[in-house]
């Protein structure tokens, strides 16, 4: 018995901040959509250390720096790369379909 994958439209590609991180709310979830050099990725928007909104942090196209304590994460994998961040970000499976970024729920 196969389980159907439930992809949901999140944001139009044209609405993304090119080469940057874009905040998006999906219901009660705050998400961060990254336009990385390797493609679009999506994570929960809150830092796993201090709960700051990562969308307010510095993004270099690959890494997102927390604006509160400068913890660093890989925006492609969610890996915590620099203290005080130690817990990886929760990444949301995403894809680009047509003109839309979609997430798997």
Percent of residues, the chain, with pLDDT higher than 70: 96
- Which homologous superfamily does the CATH classification assign to the domain defined by 7-104? Rieske [2Fe-2S] iron-sulphur domain (2.102.10.10)
Amino acid 5: pLDDT:
78
Amino acid 3: pLDDT:
61
Going by pLDDT thresholds of 50, 70 and 90, the confidence category of residue 2 is: low
pLDDT at 83 over 60: yes
Question: What are the domain boundaries of the chain?
Answer: 7-104
Rounded Cα distance, 52 and 63, in Å: 16
User: Order of strands, edge to edge, in the sheet holding 100-104?
Assistant: 7-12, 100-104, 94-97
3-state SS, residue 10: strand
**Number of alpha carbons in the 13 Å side-chain half-sphere of residue 90:** 9
Burial of 37 by CB count in 10 Å (0-12 exposed, 13-18 middle, 19+ buried)?
Answer: exposed
Rounded Cα distance, 89 and 105, in Å: 17
């Amino acid at each position: 018995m196969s389980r159907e994958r439930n992809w949901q439209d999140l944001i139009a590609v044209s609405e993304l901040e090119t080469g940057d991180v874009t905040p998006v709310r999906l219901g009660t979830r705050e998400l961060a959509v990254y336009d990385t050099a390797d493609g679009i990725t999506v994570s929960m928007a809150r830092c796993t250390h201090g709960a700051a909104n990562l969308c307010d942090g510095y993004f270099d196209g690959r890494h997102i720096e927390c604006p509160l304590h400068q913890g660093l994460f890989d925006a492609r994998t969610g890996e915590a790369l620099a203290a005080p961040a130690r817990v990886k970000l929760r990444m949301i499976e995403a894809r680009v379909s047509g003109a839309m970024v979609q997430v798997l729920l």
